[in-house]
Structure 1
Amino acid sequence: MPNPTVTADAAGVQIPLLGFGTWQLEPDVARHMVRTALEIGYRHIDTAWIYKNEKTVGEGIRDSGVPRDQIFLTTKIWVAHFADGNLQRQAEESAESLGTVPDLLLLHWPKRTPAMEETVRALNDARARGLTKHIGLSNFPSAAFEEAQGYSDAPLITNQVEHHPYLSNRPLIDMARTLGSTLTAWSPLAQGKVADEAVLIEIGRTHSKTPGQVTLRWLVQQGIIAIPRSTRESRARENFNIWDFQLGGEEMQRISRLARSDGRLGDWLDPSFQWDAAA
């Protein structure tokens, strides 16, 4: 059975392929579900300053009893804190709220003000100060991804973006590989829409799996990190149970062909940037 906690190398860093997301989880729910996810076997937890649950995410980690060095923890710098100095202060606040230094600190969305060079250099400074082990991005189109890496002394080890069968991100996937980085998929189950997809239902029957499990398997087989979230233990267990089957090449292609021009579900991109054209 493949190791469910390790992905392909990202600039020397091993990031668990399957994580547990906490977007829109109220603090008490986040604490309970983080503990539950870690007890199930997840070893990658994702949060953000703007989610307002970093404190209880940290509590859930400690409640679980799982050694901290076995957990990969990600949080994000909000766009209002991108200026040099402000960014480092938010990084300090996040580490204090979490009760631990995160493994990965991301810029949550790209912004032109302040200048990207200033923001990326401040992110590198946060890393140099020991406020995170690694740095990366979230919601950066491929041109901005490449630009940001050009300003960064340290590797930007992932770009976390919306990604699921209905949204083609081929340019972003290719850019990540060119830069020796990775892609992390938020809303990997298209906010539940995959459950009713006939193609995924049919493939799932072949493997005795749900459409959600098929979708997550499709992602991790491409080396794409997925961070589904749930408020239910049963669903979190279902999402984790994807390591005992393999999708064939034709099945992978059928799922990829589900991409469509109107597949994006969440778009808060600054108008000074543009998403890559659909492949």
Structure 2
Amino acid sequence: MTDISLNNGVTIPQLGFGVFQVPPEDTQRIVEDALEAGYRHIDTAAAYRNEAGVGAALAAAGIPREELFITTKLRNGDQGRAQDAFQDSLKALGLDFLDLYLIHWPVPSQGLFVQAWKEMEHLYAGEQLRAIGVSNFLSDHLDTLLAASDVVPAVNQIELHPSYQQADLSAKSRALGIAVEAYSPLGQGGDLNGNAVTAVAQAHHATTAQVVLAWHLAAGTIVIPKSADSARMRENFAATSLGLSEEELASITALERGARIGSDPAVAAFSQL
């Protein structure tokens, strides 16, 4: 398993496990399966309503805390109370500290993400938070944040998959020292069926998901696939040992077609109640 060094020296496992849309009642079982499969980086969010299940899985697994990397995110409706929301998440997770805390969406219409970041900077100065970052921040959101803050985000977690690569945003983030993390890395399954991915998979006797994950990993992107199936979890985890040629990587990069799946961060304004 490869680790990525963030801009403050903290290391993060490049391949993690996400729990978006995992039902709260299933979260403990699924995360326990992921930990058993070898994942040590777990990504959740207050808005997913499954932090408690993640925490229960961590407690049941008995893995030393220093071997784990746990991320959660500030709910949009809590941007005006980031410090209290952070403590709520810590309590739900049953943890003494968090490895990474992200602003989940900028929600520019609220005008609160800079205030939230200032509160997160205060938390980061303490002992309960190892790194802070953002999610779904576009170029102008980053500009606004950096003009008003002291701490450069460690991570920008964005929708990123072969058919929607956000190449300019990724390049800008990296140029600023911000690691890029991909959610929906397989295009929610939609990027697994193309001829290019299938051909590479056949050539390596690999799954199409392994091929797409290997493409992300080769780019230095942090990636958080999810699956409720333990066998699929193990298959995905094995992508760390799959090496693709420059030609194979280029054939996957060529699948870009601007196919966003999720909401547009420029206008998304849901409260995540």
Q: TM-score, normalised by structure 2?
A: 0.93
CA deviations over 1:168-200 (Å, ceiling 9, x no partner): 211121112111111111110111112322110
| Aligned partner of residue 137 in structure 1, secondary structure | strand
CA deviations over 1:236-273 (Å, ceiling 9, x no partner): 11110113221111111110110103x10011524289
For the pair 1:248 / 2:245, whether they are aligned, the reply is yes
Partner Cα separation in structure 1 for residue 241 and residue 103 of structure 2: 34
CA deviations over 1:96-138 (Å, ceiling 9, x no partner): 1001121000000002323443221112122234442210000
* 5+ long unaligned stretches in structure 1: 274-279
2:25 maps to what in 1? Answer: 28
Match of 1:188 among 185, 190, 193: 185
Match of 2:46 among 46, 49, 55: 49
Q: Which moved more, 1:23-32 or 1:50-59?
A: 23-32
Identity over aligned pairs, percent:
35
Q: Which moved more, 1:206-215 or 1:263-272?
A: 263-272
Letter in 2 for 1:93: D
Q: Which moved more, 1:127-136 or 1:58-67?
A: 127-136
CA contact (8 A) 1:146 1:175 kept: no
Match runs of 1:1-279 below 5 Å: 4-83=1-80, 86-100=81-95, 101-112=97-108, 113-261=110-258, 263-271=259-267
Letter in 2 for 1:256: T
| Aligned partner of residue 61 in structure 1, secondary structure | helix
Report the RMSD for the aligned CA atoms in angstroms.
1.7
| Aligned partner of residue 260 in structure 2, secondary structure | coil
1:277 maps to what in 2? Answer: none
Q: Give the C-alpha shift of residue 208 in structure 1.
A: 0.9
Letter in 2 for 1:149: L
Partner Cα separation in structure 2 for residue 258 and residue 66 of structure 1: 39
| Aligned partner of residue 202 in structure 1, secondary structure | helix
* 5+ long unaligned stretches in structure 2: none
Q: Which moved more, 1:145-154 or 1:18-27?
A: 145-154
Partner Cα separation in structure 2 for residue 9 and residue 270 of structure 1: 26
Partner Cα separation in structure 1 for residue 262 and residue 208 of structure 2: 21
Partner Cα separation in structure 2 for residue 191 and residue 128 of structure 1: 36
Partner Cα separation in structure 2 for residue 76 and residue 115 of structure 1: 15
CA contact (8 A) 1:36 1:64 kept: no
Partner Cα separation in structure 2 for residue 158 and residue 189 of structure 1: 20
Letter in 1 for 2:40: R
Letter in 2 for 1:103: D
Q: TM-score, normalised by structure 1?
A: 0.91
| Aligned partner of residue 244 in structure 2, secondary structure | coil
Pairs aligned (count): 267
Partner Cα separation in structure 2 for residue 146 and residue 131 of structure 1: 27
Q: Give the C-alpha shift of residue 141 in structure 1.
A: 0.6
Partner Cα separation in structure 1 for residue 224 and residue 261 of structure 2: 16
Compared CA separation, residues 269 and 118, structure 1 to 2 (3 A): same
Q: Give the C-alpha shift of residue 201 in structure 1.
A: 0.7
Compared CA separation, residues 96 and 70, structure 1 to 2 (3 A): same
